[in-house]
Homo-oligomer: A and B are copies of this chain.
Amino acid sequence: MFRRLVTDNSSRIIFLVLDGLGGIRNDEFPMTALEAASTPNLDALAASAACGRSLPISIGVTPGSGPAHFALFGYDPLAPENDAGRGVVEVTGVGFDLHDDDVAVRGNFATIDEHGILTDRRAGRIPHEEGIRICGKLSDNIREIDGVKILVMPVREYRFGLVLRGDGLSPEVNETDPQKTGLKPLRPEAMNPAAGKTADILDKFIKKATEVLADEPAARTTLLRGISKKPSIEPFNSRYGLNGAAIAAYPLYRGVARLCGMELIDTGFSPAEEFETVRSAWDGGHDFFFIHIKKTDSYGEDGNIEGKRKVIEEVDAALPILLGLKPDVIVVTGDHSTPCAMKAHSWHPVPFLIGSDTCGRDDVDSFSEAACDRGSLGVFPASSMMELILANAGRLKKYGA
């Protein structure tokens, strides 16, 4: 509905996403990382902002990173047309230009023993340079299977992308990762007869790759996940009348932003480097800057509350770089919660703040889960966030006379 209310102006919006920002308290962790962190700048911002808790998908649902980000960008994360598979997102994120009929796969290098039993699902987290070398080896040795082109590309460390290009391909094939060690990798199975050819090619790929990698110490086979085709997502820019830029260092988030049609801007990894990238790009014609901070999630997944706290403090310390740009609207939130107490993504609503001349400051005067519980925005669906952002930017007309 709100689509026909969208109007244009010269406002600029900063949308800062700390991946997995939210946490929970329990006996072991009486404070969340956000509560434990010293965040004078975020607290001051919260005091002049409107706060609340954003619900990524729906109550009780733990989101993956892809759906969580689609929701942040205002796309219904449950609509099939917005369901971009992980394979598509990863290869897009490393800049690969997918064709409509390609099948994209997210791969892990993994270690198996002499009986083919999985002993490490991430091949000892080999360094990125090793991943690049091994991808090169696969590319050199596997160029085509049954008339279908095989494209292998490094993503990060033990993760790679695989693209099949040819006729009659289908993404309806099961993943091969058994999700724990001590088991053999699964065979790729077609979910329906039309996917038989694709399942067969993936099976041959795994066998050939395992032959090619036989002399590797760790990366001895591949696990295939997220087998998918490119979805037809309505472009972010035309949807909102914005010119979006994505400042994100990690492939998946670059991929989601690219699939939505945002321009990717190269950046360093630290919060300060990312914010400096925004400063450099500030007058370059963009009016929406999506900034993605990854490490809050990574430390959350490790249960490393000290690490997560420090990343949040780095963000806080660098925040004046963004505030100095005097954005018309600034949002700070996460895509989902990754509580250290759970070492995993979770369903808990995510702290959210929005600052603008018209935000309507509430009584919240610090930025944390419990403080945001007392905000004026309540618990609201993440997929409504863009409407609120556009309203704060003066970019939504009145509905009805």
Interface residues of A (CB under 8 A from B): 1-2, 5, 24-26, 53, 57-68, 77-78, 83, 85-86, 106, 225-226, 339, 341-342, 344-349, 357-363, 369-370, 373-381, 384, 387-392, 396-401
Contact = CB atoms under 8 A, between A and B. Distances in A.
A400 B67 contact: yes
A401 B370 contact: no
B361 A25 contact: yes
A344 B357 CA distance: 14
Q: List 9 A-B pairs, minimum CB-CB distance, nearest first.
A: A64-B400, A60-B387, A24-B360, A378-B379, A60-B391, A67-B400, A59-B384, A86-B401, A60-B388
A115 to B, nearest CB: 29
A58 B25 contact: no
A370 B374 CA distance: 9
A81 to B, nearest CB: 14
B1 A399 contact: no
A66 B358 contact: no
A63 B26 contact: no
Contacts of A68: 400
A259 to B, nearest CB: 14
Contacts of A349: 376, 378
For chain A, what secondary structure do more than half of its interface residues adopt (helix, strand, loop), or is it mixed? loop
A38 B79 CA distance: 48
A356 to B, nearest CB: 10
A194 to B, nearest CB: 22
A246 B398 CA distance: 26
Nearest to A394: B342
Contacts of A65: 400-401
A80 to B, nearest CB: 11
A399 B362 contact: no
B373 A348 contact: no
A389 B67 CA distance: 22
Contacts of A384: 58-60
A240 to B, nearest CB: 12
Nearest to A24: B360
A361 B26 contact: yes
Q: Which of A226, A373, A388 has the most CB of B within 10 A?
A: A373
A401 B60 contact: no
A63 B398 contact: yes
Contacts of A341: 358
